[in-house]
Amino acid sequence: MSIIRSAIRSSLCLRQLDPAISRSSLPFLQEWRKCLSTATEQPPPASPLPPPPGGSPGEERFYGKFSGFSKHALKTDVMNILEGCSVTSDDLKFNYPRGGNLTPAAVFVQFPSLSAYDKALRNIAKKGKLYRLERAARAQWDPIVPYEGKVVALHGLPVNAITEDIDRFLSGCLYYPGSIQFLTVQGLGTSKRVALVRFTSQTQAMNAYITKNRNFLLNQRITLQVLQ
C-alpha cells in the first residue's frame, strides 16, 4: 500500500509541475498501478487431462484359452488351478463344440490384467503338463453362452425313453419340466441319446448330480454331467 501511495503522490507532483509531463507519464503510471494491484487474478483455466491409457475398462482385460481338463471339470476346479489370478466364476466360459458333443473343448478365461494372465501361466507350469493356456481374443469370448452350472446332461438314455421317464427319474428335484431336450451325440462309431434338463439354480443342479448320478432309468444306468 505504501508503494501505491508513493506512486499516487508522484503522479500529483508531476501534474503540478508540468501538465505536458503529467499527460505523457500517465500511461506508465497506470500500468505501474496495475502491476502493483493487490487483487488476485484468476489463473487461466487448466487444460483437460488426457484420458487414461487403455480406454474403457473392458479394453484392459486379457483373454486366455484353457484346456487339458477332464470332461466333468467344474468351474471350481478351474478356479483352484488359477488361484491368485483374481478370476471369478463369471470370468469362465466353457466352450462346448457344436454337433451335440458335450465334452468341453476349452474354457475361455477373462483376466483382469496381463499380470494376472502371466500368473496363471506360472500356476499351470507348476501343475504339470496336463493343462495348457494360450492367448485368446475377445471375439472368441463374447459369442459363448454359458450353461452357468444350471443344466444337467443325462447320458446313457434308452432309445425308448420319453419325457415322462425323465420326470420320474428326477423326482424330488427342482427343475423346469418344459426344459427337457433330447439330443443324439455322436461317439466313437456309435450314437448315444442324451437329455438336457435346466434346473432352477446351480445348487439344485448339483443336488441332482449327487443324488441321481449312476441311478437306473428303464433298467439302464444313467450318468449325469453338470454343464458349465
Are residues 14 and 32 in contact, defined by beta-carbon separation less than 8 angstroms?
Answer: no
**Would you place residue 56 in the very low, low, confident or very high pLDDT band (cuts 50, 70, 90)?**
very low
Round to whole Å and give the CA distance between 152 and 130: 26
Q: How high is the pLDDT of residue 131?
A: 92
Round to whole Å and give the CA distance between 195 and 172: 18
The C-alpha cell at 202 is: 446351480
Are residues 120 and 67 in contact, defined by beta-carbon separation less than 8 angstroms?
Answer: no
State yes or no: pLDDT of 59 exceeds 80. no
Round to whole Å and give the CA distance between 139 and 167: 39
3 state DSSP class of 57: helix
**Would you place residue 31 in the very low, low, confident or very high pLDDT band (cuts 50, 70, 90)?**
very low
Give the DSSP letter of residue 175: B
State yes or no: pLDDT of 154 exceeds 80. yes
Average pLDDT over residues 11-38: 42
Q: How high is the pLDDT of residue 47?
A: 44
Are residues 110 and 33 in contact, defined by beta-carbon separation less than 8 angstroms?
Answer: no
State yes or no: pLDDT of 223 exceeds 90. yes
Report domain extents, the chain.
Answer: 58-141, 151-227
The C-alpha cell at 56 is: 474403457
Per-chain mean pLDDT for the chain: 80
CA distances from 48 to 45, 51, 52, 192 (A): 9, 9, 12, 64
**Domain 58-141 and domain 151-227 have a common topology:** yes
189-192: long-range contacts, CB 8 A cutoff, minimum separation 24: 192/155, 192/156, 192/157
State yes or no: pLDDT of 2 exceeds 90. no
CATH code that applies to domain 58-141: 3.30.70.330
For residue 64, the surrounding DSSP H or E stretch is: strand 62-67
What's the number of CA atoms in the CB half-sphere (13 Å) around residue 110? 18
Q: How many CB atoms lie within 10 A of CB 44?
A: 6
Which range, 100-104, 123-127, 172-176, has the best average confidence (pLDDT)? 172-176
| CATH number among 3.10.20.30, 3.40.309.10, 3.55.50.30, 3.30.70.330, domain 151-227 | 3.30.70.330
**Would you place residue 144 in the very low, low, confident or very high pLDDT band (cuts 50, 70, 90)?**
very high
Round to whole Å and give the CA distance between 114 and 60: 8
Q: How high is the pLDDT of residue 100?
A: 64
- Structure pTM? 0.68
Of residues 30 and 155, the one with the higher pLDDT is: 155
